């Protein structure tokens, strides 16, 4: 049998194909590496091949097994164990679970105790105005005297006879005081009432000049004491 010039080249090609096939039959080493997706921004591929032929596949899912290098090797085509993330229902508390914070208790500006006592509270000028209007309207002066009157105002009335002197003033000025306070109630949050700070701890609600002339009392004086606001007087 005679060989032609092309025959040796063909034989060599067949040998190379067989060699490649033999090499291709060897299992390829694939290495899965955990790398979050934000660390792979701009990369064209989620995998690369090292010089030794090892194929590296990047994944953004954490692994379920421990490894001191943080990397895990799997045979080509092997199934990975599914990742199970804990839920709030699966977590087990050690000891007593933390208690839920109670909802904030709304402020009661008026409270009646089991013994029939009336307690008044005020932290804004509106509260003082409301308590004063209610006391004059219902002629219920004792809670106002005990809870809302400022120390300075109480000292002034104590020098004139105490609580009876306060009742006498309220009864004598009841109608003109209610006229002023009712108008303040309507204009407290508009231009008819001006609220100004008159001292480090004092504030005054004053009828605006365009309406003040029609009323005998023109301003409500208050002061902050012990985290609350108190009534100094009506002028």
Return the higher-pLDDT residue of 59 and 173. Answer: 173
Predicted pLDDT at 67: 45
pLDDT digits (tens, 9 = 90+) for 22-69: 444 456 677 766 556 555 555 555 666 777 777 777 666 655 544 444
pLDDT digits (tens, 9 = 90+) for 1-17: 344 444 444 334 333 33
d(CA 141, CA 231): 13
Predicted pLDDT at 20: 42
- Answer whether residue 114 shows pLDDT above 70: yes
Is 147 found in the same domain as 38? no
Q: What is the CATH number of the domain that holds 162?
A: 3.10.450
Q: Are 81 and 72 in contact (CB under 8 A)?
A: no
Burial (CB count <10 Å: 0-12, 13-18, 19+), residue 2: exposed
d(CA 35, CA 58): 6
For residue 177, report the phi and psi dihedrals to the nearest 5 degrees.
Answer: -65, -40
84 found inside a domain: no
pLDDT digits (tens, 9 = 90+) for 176-235: 999 999 999 998 888 999 999 999 999 999 999 999 999 999 999 999 998 899 999 999
Task: Tell me the percentage of the chain whose pLDDT exceeds 70.
Answer: 63
- Answer whether residue 138 shows pLDDT above 80: yes
Is 70 found in the same domain as 114? no
**pTM for the predicted model, two decimal places:** 0.57
d(CA 141, CA 135): 5
100 found inside a domain: no
Structure tokens that stand for 89 in this block? 């229902």
Domain that holds residue 183: 110-234
């Amino acid at each position: 049998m005679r060989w032609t010039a092309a025959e040796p080249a063909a034989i060599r090609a067949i040998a190379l194909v067989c060699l490649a096939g033999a090499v291709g039959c060897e299992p390829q080493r694939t290495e899965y590496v955990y790398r979050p997706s934000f660390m792979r921004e701009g990369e064209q591929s989620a995998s690369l091949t090292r010089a030794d032929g090892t194929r590296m596949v990047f994944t953004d899912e954490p692994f379920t097994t421990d490894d001191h290098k943080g990397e895990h090797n799997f045979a080509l085509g092997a199934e990975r164990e599914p990742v199970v993330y804990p839920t709030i229902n699966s977590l087990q508390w050690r000891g007593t679970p933390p208690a839920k914070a109670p909802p904030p208790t709304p402020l009661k500006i008026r409270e009646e105790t089991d013994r029939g006592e009336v307690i008044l509270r005020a932290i804004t000028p509106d509260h003082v105005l409301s308590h004063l209007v209610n006391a004059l309207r219902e002629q219920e002066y004792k809670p106002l005297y005990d809870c809302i009157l400022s120390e300075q105002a109480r000292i002034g009335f104590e020098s004139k006879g105490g609580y009876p002197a306060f009742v006498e003033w309220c009864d004598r000025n009841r109608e003109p005081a209610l006229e002023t306070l009712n108008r303040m109630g309507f204009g407290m949050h508009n231009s008819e009432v001006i609220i100004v700070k008159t001292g480090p701890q004092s504030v005054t609600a004053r009828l605006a000049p365009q309406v003040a002339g029609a009323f005998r009392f023109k301003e409500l004086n208050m002061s902050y004491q012990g985290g609350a606001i108190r009534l100094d007087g009506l002028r």
